[in-house]
Amino acid sequence: MTRRVVLGIYALLIVVPLVVIVGGSLKTTPELFASPFGLPTDPTLDNYTTVLAKQDLLRVLGNSVLVVLVSVPATLLLGSLVAFAVARLPRWPSRILFGIFALGLAVPAQAIMIPQYVQFDRLGLRNSLTGLMLVEIVVTLPVAVFILAGFMRTLPGELFEAAEIDGAGSWASFARIAVPVSYPSMAATAIFLIVMHWNDLLYPLLFIDDPDKRTLPLALLDFQGEYLTEYPLLFTGVVVASLPMIIAYAFLQRHFVAGITAGAVKG
């Protein structure tokens, strides 16, 4: 009984704000203020047309998609190559390699963002999506290595030795054996990276000046100054920015939980 009450209350605490947000994006500001909890009496898509037109949101959405499409596979490839080396190298070289990347887990981005800003600026990589992708790859590499090496180290060495005796080189044993058998941890890492790169605000805020090059979280933050208390427009931005992740979550729920938790456990 108590169990049901506690779970029911917490479920309401999650659901109610989300329903208010989605409902609110279909209301006018006066209607939202008059009845925040009520369903929209006269649903309107005006907020969506305003936001999409005025904020160039399709372009922003495209930038976010592009960043994720490049940076996630790149991090995954680089990270799994390191993980493979960690799994296959003899004890000490393996430990050192792993330790170098593990070092990065203890350093929050906020602690190194300033010298990174200077460095990317000097190289002409600031205010560019290429630079943004590069920095996202670099700061998430330690977590990717951690999750993937954690998995690949549990694979029996004979698995690779058999392939290598058959004349296959390291590359073949990586591509044909390590990658396929690591599929679950690769999927988990990929999801973790997608969520991290898609939702990141820090580096876009730091690196991107050009409105054309903004990603979703940065554009969303700009809403705040512009719409101040025009909540229906803020909510519309929230819906547009969150919908891709929520749809993906609905279909790939188990992978999301595994990935984000693996990231938490290792990161």
Partner 1 sequence: MIKRNRLGLYLFAAPALALYGGFFLLPAVQGLRYATTDWDGYSPTFTEVGAANLTDVVSNDDLFRNALTNNLKFLLVVVVGQTLLALLLAVLLAARSRSSTLLRALFFLPTVLSSVSVAFIWKFVYDPNFGLANTLLQAVGLGRFQSAYLGEEGTAILWVAVAQIWFHAGQMMVIYIAGINQIPAELYEAARTDGAGRWQQFRHVTWPMVAPATALVIAYTTLQSFKAFDLILGLAGNPPRSSLDVLATRIYTTFANSHLGYAAAESIVFMVVIAVVTILQNRAARMAHR
Residue 171 C-beta: closest distance to partner 1, Å = 7
Smallest CA-to-CA distance from 232 within 38, 50, 47, 51 is with 47
Residue 149 C-beta: closest distance to partner 1, Å = 11
Task: Between 213 and 237, name the residue whose CB sits nearer to partner 1.
Answer: 237
> Six-digit token pair at 172?
């073949």
Residue 122 C-beta: closest distance to partner 1, Å = 11
Residue length of the chain: 267
Q: CA of 212: how far to CAs of 204, 216, 219, in Å?
A: 12, 11, 10
Task: Between 56 and 74, name the residue whose CB sits nearer to partner 1.
Answer: 74
- Asked whether 26 and 48 are in contact (CB, 8 A), the reply is no
Task: Between 32 and 147, name the residue whose CB sits nearer to partner 1.
Answer: 32
For residues 25 and 239, what is the distance between their CA atoms, to the nearest angstrom? 8
Residue 173 C-beta: closest distance to partner 1, Å = 9
For residues 142 and 202, what is the distance between their CA atoms, to the nearest angstrom? 18
Task: Between 52 and 260, name the residue whose CB sits nearer to partner 1.
Answer: 260
Q: What is the dihedral of CA 98, 100, 103, 105, to 10 degrees?
A: -50
Task: Between 186 and 220, name the residue whose CB sits nearer to partner 1.
Answer: 220
- Asked whether 235 and 31 are in contact (CB, 8 A), the reply is no
- Asked whether 51 and 236 are in contact (CB, 8 A), the reply is yes
Residue 105 C-beta: closest distance to partner 1, Å = 9
> Six-digit token pair at 150?
């954690």
Task: Between 17 and 124, name the residue whose CB sits nearer to partner 1.
Answer: 17
Residue 104 per-residue DSSP state: G
Residue 198 C-beta: closest distance to partner 1, Å = 7
